[in-house]
Structure 1
Amino acid sequence: MGAASASDSEKEGEPMSKKILITGASSGFGRGAAIELARRGHEVVAAAETWPQVRSLRADAASAGVKLEVIKLNLLDGIDIAHATGYDPDVLVLNAGAMESGSIIDIPMERVRESFEINVFGHMKLAQGIVPKMVARKSGKVVWTSSMGGILVIPFVGVYCATKHAIEGIAGAMKAELAPYGVKVATVNPGVFGTGFNDTGAESHVQWYDADRAVVPMPDFGGALADQSDPQDMIDAMVEIIPAEVHPYRTMRPVGTIAVARQWQETEWTQDA
């Protein structure tokens, strides 16, 4: 995308129009951010996992009165990933994700591998296809959707947290490795928001879980899911930082979660085994 002359809004400090590719845009944070970024004049390529989700997202964009290019991207599908790497965005937002519940001792390894394939390896493959273009032109940004679970650990969604801890390690290494080439890297770290993602993740074990055979019985997640935050808080933060030239490396919402995450990190140094 060629650079345009600065508009009055750009001169006042607002980011110029960017080409942005967002994975996992069929619902939740991805959907909200994609539609709002398009409304603000950015050229957004929004990726959804299935064809029905592609059509639904196109309809959502039309209803919102915004122009949105929607593509199919299943991160377990090499053909889909190869197609997506044909794009050359200014900002790559690695937002898609899967959550599987279950104790570390009981969860089937198939579910563990699939979680890493979607949350980590598929996104790495996508980045390996797109980021070299950013390096070649010495500009661009990669934004990883991590989680509060990338900083602390939530029992019985430990595999999900493990994928997000992996993302934290990958994003940190990428930031240092790509900085000399003008490519920025950042994370967004949502807390517990009512997008439906946490609810389906908490339910996901029912297809394999057997209470009579479980080594570690599953708890009732009802209390933890009862008071989830409004997703708009996280969407608003993402919409601000995705196209911005200057912003913090990590963006965590709700703001109150930051203190919880920092306390967890301190506890890891002081607690007994």
Structure 2
Amino acid sequence: MNNAHENHNEPGRVWLITGCSTGFGRELVLAALAAGDQVMATARRPETLADLAELGDGRVSTAALDVTDPASIEAAVQATVAVFGRIDVLVNNAGSMVMGAIEEVSMAELREQFDVVFFGAAEVTKAVLPLFHAKGSGTIVQMSSLGGLKTYPGYGAYNSAKHALEGLSEALATEVAPLGIRVLLVEPGAFRTEFNRNKRTTAELDIYRETAGATRLATKELLGSEPNDPVKGVAAIMKALDSDKPPLRLLLGNDAVDGLREHHEALLAEVTEWEQLSRSTAVE
């Protein structure tokens, strides 16, 4: 059974999407509507979603959902079921970014980064999973990042939280596949959204000027001229979800594909270079 088209005897799929006020979240709501689906659009401040609800003409409902608040998550899941009767697609899109070298990031900021990017997505996923395995179908879309697969100086807090999300989601995908549930990890490169503009930057230490400092500068220069279009990114996500055999990972953007390929080639070269020493540990 192709879960992407499940329940199409009823009006479309039912989506629950976090972080819908801007960027990918907002574009996903619009794309789901265009596909004839129904959406529970959520944000920490649901008043920012009023125009989406109006546009939805009854097919979009809105709710407050703060991924760091378990009661808020549970309430949003229950509200979705109350309004639409079920959930077919969950999109964990809510995110944040702290930028700074590891030494520049406070432990409180590091924990906060994980609370939103990792623990928040994990908790929303766990809240929806029982609904999915009860009906034997469902799709979980984790909005990760190229930064979930490789790292950059100055993005260590964000990269580590996304790496954790990647690990959790890859294991989850294997666990839930026999239950009819699919997991799609989406890994965008740089897209023209508000995400970079909304990041939090730490105080700078001069010793990291050439490393994390260079990333800060490059990120600032990229603002508003990111190479990728979120509308096209969302169209690619929809296409992947509609395929009979979607990938576990979907990279988005030339920068993502090139960046990951380069990273894996470097990893493989290092494995080869040190292979003899790595293999020297066998019990004889």
Instruction: Tell me the TM-score range normalised by the shorter chain.
Output: 0.7 to 0.9
The 3 A distance-change label for structure 1 pair 37 and 244 is farther
The 3 A distance-change label for structure 1 pair 25 and 244 is farther
Alignment: residue pair count: 254
Match of 2:174 among 169, 173, 176: 176
SS in 2 for 1:105: helix
In the alignment, is the contact (CA less than 8 A) between 1:22 and 1:93 conserved in 2? yes
In the alignment, is the contact (CA less than 8 A) between 1:146 and 1:167 conserved in 2? yes
Identity %: 29
After TM superposition, list the pairs within 5 Å mapping 1:1-273 onto structure 2: 3-5=7-9, 17-50=12-45, 54-63=46-55, 67-86=59-78, 87=81, 88-201=86-199, 204-205=200-201, 208-209=202-203, 211=204, 215-217=207-209, 218-219=213-214, 220=217, 221-225=219-223, 227-228=225-226, 229-242=228-241, 245-271=244-270
Structure 1 segments (4+ residues) deviating >6 Å: none
How far off its partner does 1:243 sit? 5.4
In the alignment, is the contact (CA less than 8 A) between 1:252 and 1:258 conserved in 2? yes
Structure 2 equivalent of residue 12 of structure 1: none
Greater gyration radius: 2
Query: Normalising by structure 2, what TM-score?
Result: 0.81
In the alignment, is the contact (CA less than 8 A) between 2:53 and 2:62 conserved in 1? no
Q: What stretches of structure 1 of length at least 5 have no aligned partner?
A: 7-15
How far off its partner does 1:256 sit? 4.8
In the alignment, is the contact (CA less than 8 A) between 1:58 and 1:68 conserved in 2? no
Structure 1 equivalent of residue 278 of structure 2: none
Higher helix share: 2
Task: Give the Cα–Cα distance (whole angstroms) in 2 for the partners of residues 139 and 18 of structure 1.
Answer: 12
1:243-265: per-residue Cα shift (whole Å, max 9, x none)?
55532222111145213212112
Q: What stretches of structure 2 of length at least 5 have no aligned partner?
A: 1-5, 275-284
Task: Give the Cα–Cα distance (whole angstroms) in 2 for the partners of residues 267 and 226 of structure 1.
Answer: 30
The 3 A distance-change label for structure 1 pair 4 and 40 is closer
In the alignment, is the contact (CA less than 8 A) between 1:91 and 1:243 conserved in 2? no
Deviates more, 1:241-250 or 1:163-172: 241-250
1:188-211: per-residue Cα shift (whole Å, max 9, x none)?
11110110202322xx12xx51x4
In the alignment, is the contact (CA less than 8 A) between 1:35 and 1:68 conserved in 2? no
